[in-house]
Amino acid sequence: MVAMDLSQTLRIIAGVFMMVIELASGNFVFNVTHKFAGKDKQLAELKSHDTFRHARMLANLDLPLGGDSRADSIGLYFTKIQLGSPPKSYHVQVDTGSDILWVNCAPCPKCPVKTDLGIPLSLYDSKASSTSKKVGCDDDFCSFISQSDTCEPEKKPCSYHVVYGDGSTSDGDFVKDNITLDQVTGNLRTAPLSQEVVFGCGSNQSGQLGQTDSALDGIMGFGQANTSIITQLAAGGKVKRVFSHCLDNVNGGGIFAVGEVESPVVKTTPLVPNQVHYNVILKGIDVDGEPVDLPPSIASFGGNGGTIIDSGTTLAYLPENLYNSLLKKITARQPVKLHMVQETFACFSFTSNTDKAFPVVNLHFEDSLKLTVYPHDYLFSLREDMYCFGWQSGGMTTQDGSDVILLGDLVLSNKLVVYDLDNEVIGWVDHNCSSSIKVKDGSGAAYSVEADNLIQSASSAINGTLVTLLTILISVFYTFTS
């Protein structure tokens, strides 16, 4: 989920990653479940939801994933973390597009009290934790986020206000307490480890954060800032500022790990420095070898990073001219009659094998890194004979009006994606996300991290509570084709 550092015209409701952290000494484990696991996803929801270290002590975290990243099925992942002493569990989103961890706190009259996700909701109570501490305006952490010169250390707590890309907001005060995670101590072995971190104690949420169908206990930011959970863990000497994910949109679930990846080998491209998000330089796009012209604003802005990689976003958002050119090239290779569904999804009837009929799309980045997007990635089915493009005309701009491309799970699925903040690079490689990877800790020991799909345990409950508009969309589609 990309926070509102970009233009107010940004109308992307980014799908937000959600995960579970459990920490110990060495490697760590995060169990992750998809927010909409077990149900067909509404198209509207897809748009609306959608360095300090101590080498010998560095650990890896394994975050087993649940759900899938298919545009016709899922949009968000969530996980479970433990906070406080004694530890208490909370279900939170994990978001690479934001920079703080926050959870709903007691008292909170307007916080959601139930969810359709089949999980219990909990309010963090600082009075119930023996290790909880207040964070004041004079705390070093507060200097990372404070934009006010009126702070009075003796009178004011360190407060936060965050606005996400869909307009949802969270407000509250920061606290310090222990987060308990599962550190990987060997192949398929973990042990608990606690570390003090600073997180937001949310007292007021708005927008989708409070809706019953999508309510969770909070959001955990995996951005680049000093306030993010990955940076805090690294500052405590527990981990490197390196994490990776492999989203399986075939079988569901996947892999999320914190630590250096030993295998498979991943080729990288530089992150654009001094950017809020994970910006990279896009050099070109082709449709099965036939070039697609980049808009002048993207080509000229490339040196400043006009493309954002965000695993918290479900779809891929392109400037209007690029979107139109790309779909024109694709449909020239495989002619279809397009009809707009819910104003933004280009859909069509088709009964043949889409992977055989439609071309691949290649995105080329600096240092000759290529990202190949296959038809089964950029197309999703409303039913057996109906498909829609996941590419979206985004209307996303920077504050100076320059176009921005936002690449979400649509193009990142079925690939191991590595974010190396220590070396300021990001990279990916095609990978079977139902298999495993190897991560290396500070001592040089490497352990296998296997894929997981936590959604299976919750799918029955979610199936019974979540209702989809899929049949309505099919009816709408047929009114266009009749």
Catalytic residue set: 95, 310
Neighbouring C-beta atoms of residue 88, cutoff 10 Å? 17
- 280, two tokens: 């990279």
Omega before residue 86 within 30° of 0, cis? yes
CA–CA distances in Å: residue 429 to residues 97, 298, 414, 418, 455: 21, 24, 9, 9, 25
Q: Are 260 and 442 in contact (CB under 8 A)?
A: no
The separation between the first and the last C-alpha atoms of the chain, rounded to the nearest angstrom, is 38
Tell how far CA 256 is from the center of its chain.
11
Q: Are 88 and 126 in contact (CB under 8 A)?
A: no
SS3 20: coil
Q: Are 349 and 332 in contact (CB under 8 A)?
A: no
Burial class (CB in 10 A: 0-12, 13-18, 19+), 142: buried
Amino acid identity of 338? L
Nearest to 250 by CA among 451, 429, 106: 451
Nearest to 112 by CA among 38, 209, 9: 209
Residue 139's φ and ψ, nearest 5 degrees, are: -75, 145
Residues 373-409 as b or e (16 or more Cβ within 10 Å = b): bbbbbbbbbbeeebbbbbbbbbbbbbeeebbbbbbbb
